[in-house]
Structure 1
Amino acid sequence: MHRLGISIYPEHSTEEKDYEYMKLASKYGFSRIFTCLLSVKETKEFIIEKFTRFMKQAHELGFIVAVDTNPEVFSHLGATPYDLKPFSDMKVDIVRLDGHFGEIEDIAITHNPYGIQIEFNGSTNAALDLMIERGANIHNMIVCHNFYPQKYTGLGWNKFMEFTNKYKSLGLPVAAFISSNNEDTFGPWPVYKGLPTCEIHRELPIDLQARHLLATNKIDDIIIGNAYAAEEELKAVSEVDKSKITFRVNLADNITVEEKNIIYNYPHFGRGDASDFMVRSSMPRGSYRNKIIPYRKYNEKLFHRGDIVIVNDNLSHYRGELEIISRDMPNDGERNFVGRIAEQDLILLDLLKPEYLFGFIKTK
């Protein structure tokens, strides 16, 4: 099950603003909170009092809360890998380890008696497989990538997938960050260029960032790294279809009602006997065996990657089949051009594997 999350940085805001943001996110189905203790410079007593109050509010709204820590934070709070009582006293659900202890300590912390989940940094090449071999409690281990405030420093896509595949192969849940494009957002540090995990996502529409992560079929939880996202962004992320890859599409001006019906009202999945030239959704053919889809002239000599076409009466055996073009191919009159995947959404096409379910987002 995918969970959506927000980030809260109490040391940079007020309890009133944080609580209002939590209530708003809860309204849209968000259920995780990430917060950071690395940047908090107050006394142990102040931190425990303030964050205990924060945890209570979050839990009342149905959130689970992860706190970002490292060995210095542990020392400051009087915790050790063998004693997480200070975190238990604050009612923390997840302790994220931005920095590691030694191998034995990292294993020991997964066996804490408080039921606190231990979240490891997914943007590092951590030897979690060896830890599990040596007795770490895999049932108490989860993974969350970093976010990157500095522009151009976010993870490259291939490296992101390399790390993610490694931890998913161990059976561990993996979370990653997307970034709000709202004005005046902030994080734990005085850098304000967004807080995504992957550099490719910085400044993309927030729902596309989420759809791209979901399209990997690898990411479990998606967290907005910076605060505060706009209500429109929270709503957009909450409305993302988590069951399949979805594309925004620019429809052809002369598209017919029947062609719209094929685009929006049929389940689409790429055939397993995949072509290099197109993704074929053959399901609509059965309904259009005895109907007509008249040929409609299209002046381009070639169809291009991202074009959406539907087979017409000139190839009646395949009439009604919807196809997404993967590489340039001739327009031979057997297909009607019905639209094109929105330019930014073409990154999703790289992740559309044979037999994956996909669909199109209706424009309002």
Structure 2
Amino acid sequence: MTFRQLGLSIYPDHSKFEEDARYLDLGHKYGFTRIFMSMLEADDPEGTKAKFKKIIAYGNKLGYSTVLDVSPRIFDKFGISYSDLKFFADLGAAGVRLDEGFNGATEAMMSYNPYGLIIELNMSNDVAYLDNVLSYQANEPYIFGCHNFYPQVGTGLPMDFFTRTTTRFKKHGIHTAAFVSSAHGNMGPWNVNDGLPTLEEDRHLPISVQAKQLFATGLIDDVLIGNAYASEDELKALSETNRYQLQFDIDFVPAASAVEKEIVLKPQHFRRGDINALVIRSTMPRVTYKDEPNPAHDNTEEFQRGDVLVGNDDFGHYKNELQIVLEPHSDPRKNKVGRINEHEIRLLDYIRPWSKFKFEDR
């Protein structure tokens, strides 16, 4: 089984060891286990080696695994042979991400390096690159995929393109990663930093919503924060994000009863397989709570997309069924008990037939 991980990014060529170490300590506190570290801007081989080795060793002691972002320029500048990756192993890295691809045969051969280094491929191109690498009989367990991030506003990937490129990797069972952006981080590899997400639509969303969306696609295993340094609140929010099913934040209406809150928060919800366009139906609560009375309240307004409803005493067989509104409608047999966080309403599109989901009272 592939477990989903959270990761941080640090930029030793633009930061101080002490600041990076504090950030890694904070990430460790909240269960982060991956480090993305860019070498693309490195120029001094000896200075870079000492600097990177020190911070990677610190991360390794905390249980992180570090992947170094590299390009052909780095191999040339540092005199590193594609057939001998000892330089990266000596730094303590777990793998290298190839920001630019080679000819397929080179990547395949690199995946058999004796140090067990992961070879992470750039996923942000809709071409048959991975198929080419695998056709050279690559060592597949050591082939990973990771998207780019995009410092310039307006240049991140659109969702349809992201889906196509990531599916190329996921259909082969390749471990995948993508980036979310901190609202507080102002450090990246370059001197333009309008945030560092993979998806353009994520650029200005709360970081937990970005992560929920990436995980909800079913295409991404690891979510990495692209820019440094994220705030502690952001790290905490990501640590509390359910990585395996959508968990919506809900604000209850004042009149929501204890039973209604239990119906929302306690069960493992799933959408009925015979779906409709009006609402997402979670029908088991009407069975579990069939004997619990539920007087009408908040039932006369027009319900809007993202409202959470529970059938009231006038709904007969459907009393205490939970529904999430997809299209506006009115029905006095339903009580509005709360509303999904406005930023998360976009995520309703990921609740498909039989999808599992939960709620959390924020």
Fold match by TM threshold 0.5 = yes
Alpha-carbon displacement from aligned partner over 1:309-341 (angstroms, at most 9, x marks no partner)? 111111221111100111233x23221111222
2:131 pairs with one of 110, 129, 132: 129
1:33 pairs with one of 32, 35, 39: 35
Distance 1:333 1:274 in 2: 22
* 1:74 matched residue in structure 2: 75
* 1:306 matched residue in structure 2: 306
* 2:282 matched residue in structure 1: 281
- Amino acid in the other structure paired with 2:296: Y
- Amino acid in the other structure paired with 1:161: T
How far 1:288 moved relative to its partner? 2.1
1:356 has 2:355 as partner: yes
Q: TM-score, normalised by structure 1?
A: 0.95
Alpha-carbon displacement from aligned partner over 1:105-128 (angstroms, at most 9, x marks no partner)? 122112212110000001113421
Distance 1:145 1:59 in 2: 23
* 1:332 matched residue in structure 2: 331
Unaligned runs of 5+ in 2: none
Give yes or no for contact 2:180–2:224 (8 Å, CA) kept in 1: yes
How far 1:241 moved relative to its partner? 1.6
Give yes or no for contact 2:252–2:361 (8 Å, CA) kept in 1: no
Q: Within 5 Å, which residues of 2 pair with 1:70-219?
A: 70-126=71-127, 127-182=129-184, 185-219=186-220
Q: TM-score, normalised by structure 2?
A: 0.96
Distance 1:235 1:250 in 2: 20
Give yes or no for contact 1:248–1:361 (8 Å, CA) kept in 2: yes
Distance 1:169 1:160 in 2: 14
Q: Give the alignment's Cα RMSD to 1 decimal.
A: 1.3
Give yes or no for contact 1:268–1:358 (8 Å, CA) kept in 2: yes
* 1:16 matched residue in structure 2: 18
Distance 1:23 1:290 in 2: 50
Give yes or no for contact 1:129–1:170 (8 Å, CA) kept in 2: no
Distance 1:32 1:200 in 2: 24
How far 1:80 moved relative to its partner? 2.2
Give yes or no for contact 1:77–1:86 (8 Å, CA) kept in 2: no
Distance 2:103 2:331 in 1: 64
How far 1:228 moved relative to its partner? 0.5
Partner SS for 1:346: helix
Unaligned runs of 5+ in 1: none
* 2:62 matched residue in structure 1: 61
Partner SS for 1:197: coil
Aligned residues: 359
How far 1:297 moved relative to its partner? 5.0
- Amino acid in the other structure paired with 1:304: Q
* 1:316 matched residue in structure 2: 316
Distance 2:151 2:317 in 1: 54
